[in-house]
Amino acid sequence: MSDALLTTARAWLRQDPDAETRDELAGIITLAAGGNPAALADLADRFGARLAFGTAGLRGALGAGSNRMNRVLVAQAAAGFAAYLLERAGGAVPTVVIGYDGRRNSRRFAQDSAELFAGAGLRAILLPRLLPTPVLAFAVRHLGADAGVMVTASHNPPNDNGYKVYLGGADQGSQIVSPADAEIARHIQQVADAGDVGSLPRSDAYEIADEQVVEAYVAATAAVAPAGEGARGLRWVYTAMHGVGWETVEKIVTAAGYPRPTVVRAQQHPDPTFRTVAFPNPEEPGAMDLAFDIARSTGAELILANDPDADRLAVAIPDPDADGGWRRLSGNEVGLLLGARAARAAEGTPGAALACSLVSSPGLGVIAERHGLGFAETLTGFKWISRAPGIVFGYEEALGYLVNPGTVRDKDGISAAVAVLGLAAEARERGESLATLLAELGETYGHFASGQVSVRVEDLSVITAVMASLRQVPPTAVGDAAVASAEDLLVAAPGQPAGDVLRYRLAGGGRVIVRPSGTEPKLKVYIDAQGDSADAATAAVATIESGVRALLEERS
């Protein structure tokens, strides 16, 4: 086994164009060849598997090896994707747009991709600089491209990067879904099996996108909610979470007529080390602490935070009952606020529909029904949400919102920010606030509450074992609540996509959903409940959460 590993590693080393990962791997090979157990284990981890290309593209830690993100793997992915696009085009010349964020190696991976696409005979268009993911998703449609690639790992840890793929044409700039993922993966594997990315044709005949693409995104996004009279004097705080959002956000809020925010300067500009946060995700504890400090000192009325590639949005409001006087709204709270906004605007429009992932609040379905709109509940991920027929708004609880489907068919934390500013301005005009709007939401559509239990693991087999246990012996109760029905979404209904998801409906109306995270080493459990008041719904969620924790402890 060690001989085979060494042979595989040396073959990889010979084709690696990156001096940094070559040196990294050469040192490990030397130690492993001398029998060092730790080095042999390291090689087994790096080459015992390869990062799987799926509907989320590629995502993983940077480093040498087939199970890491690096220039060899990206070259294989780009060449395989090019072959897929050429096969799909049937003799035409496909166009592909490439974007990248501020993470380590993002620009290098994007440039490699542009050169390989051009070398394969595609028309390749590289965005002019590092930009948010929603700009790339917009550019695919705006330029009439056949496909798009965004180099980003979104809100993952600093040493991660990723490769997200979009399709144009009939897919309207949405992320790929099955069977495209398997077909692309097959082409990538053929390139990998050939064994030498250095022999792949490259060309510098790719284009750099004109600034007009960014300007068009700015104009379209500013039009989501132009500032009204209530925006005058609005005090708000913004953080880009060390990512690429601020430059674009600044242009859009200016174009839309909103006051300039107080910016968290320590997190304003792209920084691949994400030095002020333990984890660059606004959902994580502590990530928004600097924004809270600034909001308290400036008397702000709300905080808006993007994740590093600006496809997600967090919103926080003053709350005298919260620790420190501020609290971050849940993704479901923001989703229902924005969903009600969209429903009011779309009421009476034939075929209009709202959509959310199945782990998001059932409250969106109630809103859709109240306004006479269609409603779709999809598997997790905007690759599914964006494809809902007639969609005018979609969201999932992990801070992702699609508010402008006519221009971007993906979650977009910047257009969502503009929509929230519009809601805040409208409320201010009536002497109210986002907190008032939340209270009105409950009174109008019913009081919904949600919670989540998230278990991060070092060993992914733990998640596999828990899911297997729950399937083999389904729980009859969660805490004191009996399980009224259990569904395994691996067994899909006819015509519906399957997913590694378990859903339990509880006696009394609660709901529990269990699934592995698609992007992180986590088991995630989603809890929903409804009550006669906000406090009653929240208390019901807390009770169910205690039962979930006990169940997971029993099955782990």
Rounded CA gap, 65 and 71, in Å? 10
Is residue 132 within 8 Å of residue 240, measured between CB atoms?
no
Tokens describing residue 342 = 């969209």
* Predicted TM-score of the model (pTM): 0.94
495 pLDDT above the threshold of 70: no
* Domain 447-555 in the same topology as domain 52-210: no
330 pLDDT above the threshold of 90: yes
- The domains of the chain are located at 1-48, 52-210, 224-445, 447-555
> How confident is the model over 496-525, as pLDDT tens digits?
667 899 999 999 889 999 999 876 788 999
Domain 447-555 has CATH 3.30.499.10: no
* 298 CB-near residues (< 8 Å, 6+ apart): 235, 237, 262
CA distances from 256 to 220, 249, 302, 430 (A): 10, 10, 18, 20
Q: What's the chain's average pLDDT?
A: 95
Which of 293-297, 520-524, 535-539 is predicted with the least confidence, judged by mean pLDDT?
Answer: 520-524
Domain 224-445 has CATH 2.40.50.140: no
pLDDT of residue 344: 98
pLDDT of residue 472: 94
Contacts 24+ apart (CB under 8 A), 33-42: 33/6, 40/2, 40/5
Q: What is the CATH number of domain 52-210?
A: 3.40.120.10
> How confident is the model over 77-93, as pLDDT tens digits?
999 999 999 999 999 99
Average pLDDT over residues 200-208: 98
Is residue 310 within 8 Å of residue 248, measured between CB atoms?
yes
Of 139, 138, 136, 141, residue with least CA distance to 171: 141
pLDDT of residue 499: 85
pLDDT of residue 1: 65
pLDDT of residue 496: 67
Task: Please report, rounded to a whole number, the percentage of residues in the chain having pLDDT higher than 70.
Answer: 99
Give the catalytic positions in this structure. 154
Q: Enumerate the H helices of 156-222 as residue ranges.
A: 180-194, 212-222
> How confident is the model over 24-35, as pLDDT tens digits?
999 999 999 999
CA distances from 540 to 202, 397, 450, 530 (A): 59, 19, 9, 8
Q: Please state, as a whole number, how many other Cβ atoms lie within 10 Å of the Cβ of residue 176.
A: 24
Average pLDDT over residues 414-440: 97
Q: Which residue(s) pair with 447 in the sheet?
A: 531
Tokens describing residue 264 = 């968290």
**CA torsion 28→34→37→43, rounded to 10°?**
30
* 412 CB-near residues (< 8 Å, 6+ apart): 134, 137, 221, 311, 401, 402, 403, 404
Which of 135-144, 342-351, 519-528 is predicted with the least confidence, judged by mean pLDDT?
Answer: 519-528
339 pLDDT above the threshold of 80: yes
148 pLDDT above the threshold of 70: yes
Average pLDDT over residues 226-240: 97
